[in-house]
Amino acid sequence: MNTKRKVVLVGTGFVGMSMAYSLLNQGGVDELVLVDIDKEKTIGEEMDLSHGLPYAPHKMEIKAGDYKDCKNANIVVITAGVTQKPGQSRLELQKTNAKIVKDITKNIMENGFNGIFIVASNPVDLMTYVVSETSGMPRTKVIGTGTVLDTARLRYLIAEYLEVSSKNVHAYILGEHGDSSLVPWEHCYVGCKKLMDVMKDNNHPMEDLKKIHDGVWQAAYEIIEKKKATYYGIGMALNRLVKAVLNDENAILTVSAYLEHQYEQDGIYIGVPAIINKNGVKELLELKLNKEDQEKFNYSCEIMKSNIKEHIKSILEE
């Protein structure tokens, strides 16, 4: 592994470049390589980012490259693929993006990559599965952004509702990065106090929690309807994941991780809390779910399993 903190970004669309711009602003990466099928755009993005380096907090080498640059990278981030259109669900993107992500992963592995994969292409749980199956890498070294963004949206909306700092809201979205996600409210805290107790003690209607969760899963649809795409939030989420790996943080983030009998499920990637460090997923944190939440989680997992069986397996076998 390269002693340089090197990240290769595959996909220079809005999501990828939002991550790149946040890395430029925050620092912490020595070398950032941009890879895209559109070579001219990649060169333009490299130039535009590099012109901001005199005002960046840390030195960084930015270049337009190709798959050969993956060989000694610490992390490869995949954001390439077709984007979600107004009124379209993430799951509707799966066939097209599975083919794209499969080809990208093959190219990366053919150039000797042995670092950590971070996947953001949608539907992210299924695309993380595609990268894992195609690469043959240990499951712990393939991570999807999962519900990292959903969790950020949840924390923001709870904080706004209760008028507290979002940094002191400890709440998590589990399941699909999509419409079947769930919130295990029993495991949500504001500071060191249970959210459910905060709601009761302040006479807040419990049904408002459902409104908050609805606001989370509906957010992407609303943003896409208004501005055609979402990218700043996921760009920051990707930055957070990259830093957790590069800094060997042992940070707890709700990534798309591979289940092996945790949460009564196995054989899929889906959003759960996990400890992230330089080796990828160190450990999954298994919450004790009540019957209702377990049923919701099972439903979310069944959606992933049925889509793998009906659509993804055939593409992987081509």
Of these residues, 51, 58, 170, 177, which one is catalytic? 177
121 CB-near residues (< 8 Å, 6+ apart): 11, 78, 79, 80, 81, 97, 100, 101, 127
**Do 304 and 174 meet the contact criterion of CB atoms below 8 Å apart?**
no
- Only one residue has tokens 């592995």, namely 109
**Do 77 and 49 meet the contact criterion of CB atoms below 8 Å apart?**
no
Cis geometry, peptide bond prior to residue 123 (ω within 30 degrees of 0): yes
Per the structure block, which two tokens stand in for 74?
């610490």
Per the structure block, which two tokens stand in for 177?
């990065």
Is 213 known to be catalytic? no
Strand boundaries in the chain, DSSP class E:
6-10, 31-35, 61-64, 75-78, 116-119, 142-144, 169-170, 189-190, 193-194, 251-260, 266-277, 280-284
Outline where 228-312 has alpha helix (H).
232-246, 291-307
Strand boundaries in 160-237, DSSP class E:
169-170, 189-190, 193-194
Residues recognised as catalytic: 177
